[in-house]
Amino acid sequence: MYFQEMKQAASALDGKFFYSVVSRLATLERQSKNSTGAYQAMFESVLETKSIQQLSYTEARFGTKGTMQDLSDDAKYLLHGKHFDQFMRENTHYASMPKPVVKTDARAFEEWLKSNKPSMVV
């Protein structure tokens, strides 16, 4: 029960994202012990160079909903950091955000220019 024990250790730490990933893996492990073998190998490999404390500092992956469908991406992000797919997901999210409405006209620009011209360096 590798992830069950890790879940207990994660509950003592402050890392919510780490606890979320390990908790989902523990649930998966409870359902079928063979289904988490690949994840266990990934964790063991990473834990040779990093501590559980370091993993607990990892911020939540942008765009994750904390579901079992996101488990693979979340585990990869937790263990290895941001990958290209996460970078593209963030770019798509930022591109879909509403753009601020900025109203400018020539008169407003002239007034701004008059007030800021002395401090401008050309």
Tens-place pLDDT, residues 17-39? 889 999 999 999 999 888 888 88
Output the six-digit token pair for 121: 């360096």
Q: Beta-carbon neighbour count of residue 47 at 10 Å? A: 14
Pair of tokens at residue 24 = 């989902």
Would you place residue 83 in the very low, low, confident or very high pLDDT band (cuts 50, 70, 90)? low
Confidence band, pLDDT 50/70/90 cuts, at residue 96: confident
